[in-house]
Structure 1
Amino acid sequence: MARMRRGLVHAMAWSLATGAAVTLSWWGVHTVLAGTAYDPPRALPIPAGSTGAPPAGAGDPLASSTRRPSTPPSSPSAEPRASDRPTTPPAPTPSRAPTASKPTTKRSPDGGDVKSYAVDGGRVVFDLGPSSAELVSATPASGWQMQVWKQPTWIRVTFTKDDRELSVFCVWHDTAPRVEIEDR
Structure 2
Amino acid sequence: MRRGLVHALAWSLATGAAVTLSWWGVHTVLSGTVYDPPRALPLPAGSPADLVPAETAIGDPVTSSTRRPSTTPPAAAPPSPSSSAPKAAAPPSSRPAAPTTTPVPTTTAPAPGGSSVRSYPSDGGRVTFDLGETSAELVSASPASGWQMQVWKQPTWIRVTFTRDGREVSVFCLWHDSAPRVQIEERAV
Q: Name the TM tier (shorter chain).
A: 0.5 to 0.7
Distance 1:104 1:172 in 2: 19
Match of 2:130 among 127, 130, 140: 127
Residue matched to 1:43: 40
Alpha-carbon spacing, 1:56–1:144, altered in 2? closer, same or farther (3 Å): closer
Write the mapping of 1:8-87 to structure 2, written as runs, cut at 5 A: 42-46=39-43, 54-55=47-48, 58-59=51-52
Judge conservation of contact 1:100–1:118 (CA < 8 Å) in 2. Answer: no
Q: CA deviation at 1:122?
A: 0.4
Write the mapping of 1:90-169 to structure 2, written as runs, cut at 5 A: 95=98, 97-98=100-101, 102-169=105-172
Residue matched to 1:12: none
Judge conservation of contact 1:113–1:127 (CA < 8 Å) in 2. Answer: yes
Question: What is the SS of the residue equivalent to 2:112?
Answer: coil
Distance 2:172 2:38 in 1: 18
* Counterpart AA for 1:157: V
Judge conservation of contact 1:63–1:137 (CA < 8 Å) in 2. Answer: no
Alpha-carbon spacing, 1:56–1:114, altered in 2? closer, same or farther (3 Å): closer
Q: CA deviation at 1:42?
A: 3.6
CA offsets 1:78-103 (integer angstroms, 9 cap, x no match): xxxxxxxxxxxxxxxx7264456511
Residue matched to 2:183: 180
Question: What is the SS of the residue equivalent to 1:110?
Answer: helix
Judge conservation of contact 2:157–2:173 (CA < 8 Å) in 1. Answer: yes
Q: CA deviation at 1:115?
A: 1.0
Looking at both structures, which has the greater relative contact order when contacts are Cα pairs under 8 Å and sequence separation is at least 6?
1
**Deviates further, 106-115 or 163-172:** 106-115
* Counterpart AA for 2:178: T
Distance 2:179 2:159 in 1: 16
CA RMSD of aligned residues (A): 3.4
Gaps of 5+ in 2: 1-35, 55-61, 67-96
* Counterpart AA for 1:43: A
Judge conservation of contact 1:63–1:116 (CA < 8 Å) in 2. Answer: no
Alpha-carbon spacing, 1:135–1:96, altered in 2? closer, same or farther (3 Å): same
Q: Which has the larger radius of gyration?
A: 2
Q: CA deviation at 1:54?
A: 3.3
Gaps of 5+ in 1: 1-38, 68-93
Q: CA deviation at 1:60?
A: 6.2
**Deviates further, 106-115 or 161-170:** 106-115
